Structure 1
């Protein structure tokens, strides 16, 4: 879904979410791995997982891995080790989104690229070396667990815009969640809802990037 005002010269920088925009993720793999460790059915675990304040705190870097896994142990009702929780937690990553690598390479020749992701410390440690080539296109990557702020809070976008050092209206943001796109637009950025890599390609074409 393209922002209506995308046109040549409308962007001085591009800002990308990571999950399901740059790197494909599949939470089914997480639950399946946990279920295998616990010896139970994945279908029993999935409804018990809730993105609550402990989850959000883990993404802001205010809740430790040990506290997060302890919380999950109680909520999911499974008695597996922290190492087993971590194994499942990192199973979420599938690989690069189809077709994203050449699009980033193409865009980086014309404009500075940045990334902004709601994520957590163990995920960062896991995906950073595995996708180093892909992530190398970004001049800076803003991580919620590092900056202590997460989308769609206005303070998070304001922090990133200040760090980039360009007017918000000259930054085009790509995210797969409607609430994050709305938050970005409310903070003055242009924003594109990404349902597939085709939406990114269409936006780059509209910008003549």
Structure 2
């Protein structure tokens, strides 16, 4: 006794027949599946860091050292200066020494922030165009009295990298205790602290 074919079964057969015909038609048109091919290593983005010059100390004298930074903003430059003085590479003996024998007078302080203000000093600048320069306020925390060498490190580092825009540097301690400022400076006044053969910025 033959089984009657249901509508559902007949519909399934027709669907399979249509799919088979479609596959055969594509094959007849010359379309063949392709293999996955490797295209080699992904592209590598090269990164060229910006180099800035910071001033550290050797026997109390200012010595320049080039250090790579992500950007040459004033904040990054000052951050790099403070960080450079505290980086103590570890040797096989386990003893820690400052970078290549250099030290810093800023290790008791931390950089809190920087602010720029515009000003024009007619007594120091003979600028007929009337261009305005900037004063950079460097705000620190910690420590007590900042030494002349520490002020020279900050001032000369900023002036070395920002001579065109920053005319003077002011250093202020925010805390502990009452806020205190050590005044406004240029690197020229610290020329007596330059190590032998080192030429400081103005």
TM-score (norm 1): 0.28
Higher relative contact order by CA 8 Å / sep ≥ 6: 1 or 2?
1
Structure showing greater radius of gyration is: 2
**In proportion to residue count, which structure has more strand?**
2
